[in-house]
Amino acid sequence: MLHVPRPNRPTIGTPGVGKTTLGKELAARTGLTYINVGDLAKEGNLYEGFDEEYTCPILDDDRVIDELETKMSEGGIIVDYHSCEFFPERWFDIVFVLRTDNSFLYNRLESRGYQGKKLQDNIQCEIFQTIYEEARESYREEIVHQLPSNTPEDLESNLEQIVQWIEQWMKDNN
């Protein structure tokens, strides 16, 4: 783990669980810097190809890591991405995995234009806790936490919980 003046933390989960909404609001409330890895990759063309089946670019993990390394070492970064296994463990003090009931998730993904295999695979990913299990395998189990993300009340509760954690981290580490 890096020794930085402000904590780094990712918000991960299946597409549609509310990572971007949570990350942006958290940045507004805490002054931490929000980085959406998808946007970062798009701006820097950090791809290694295109997946025809899912109609999306394939991220170049190594180039993303290189692009983020300096920012992460400075601290105070909220990373938004659906996956986490390629991020170095030393980057994060705590990992939050957002989880959404499939009845909510299906409607959210469908409204984004997801259909067919892409829609079904993302729903199955949530059913089988794929992202959560990936996080538990990639990081120390005690720093990985699941948060429900179904309703506006869940969002507010998650924000309050994470802000409290950040405040405590700042007291303990500064």
Torsion of CA 127, 150, 78, 2, to 10 degrees: -50
From CA 92, how far away is CA 44, in angstroms rounded? 23
pLDDT tens profile 96-112: 999 999 999 999 999 99
Closest alpha carbon to 81 in 66, 105, 64: 64
Residue 33 assigned to a binding site = no
Measured distance CA(42)–CA(51) in Å, rounded: 15
Average pLDDT over residues 60-80: 96
pLDDT at 5 over 90: no
Taking residues 67-77, what's their average pLDDT? 95
For residue 134, the SS3 value is helix
Asked if pLDDT for residue 52 goes beyond 80, the answer is yes
Query: What pTM did the predictor assign?
Result: 0.93
55 in a labelled binding site: no
Q: Binding site annotation covers 23?
A: no
Question: Taking a C-beta distance cutoff of 8 angstroms, is the pair 116, 34 a contact?
Answer: no
21 labelled binding-site residue: yes
Q: Residue 134: which CATH number? A: 3.40.50.300
Has 18 been labeled as part of a binding site? yes
Q: Confirm or deny that 19 is annotated as ligand binding.
A: yes
- CA-nearest of 13, 8, 14, 40 to 26 is 8
CB contact at 8 A, 39 and 110 = no
Query: What is residue 3's predicted lDDT score, i.e. its pLDDT?
Result: 52
Q: Which domain holds residue 61?
A: 9-165
Average pLDDT, integer, range 118-133 = 96
Instruction: Reduce the DSSP state of residue 159 to 3 states and report it.
Output: helix
Give the number of domains in the chain. 1
Q: How confident is the model at residue 86 (pLDDT cuts 50, 70, 90)?
A: very high
pLDDT at 4: 57
Neighbours of 85 (CB within 10 A): 12
pLDDT at 162: 96
Q: Has residue 172 been placed in a domain? A: no
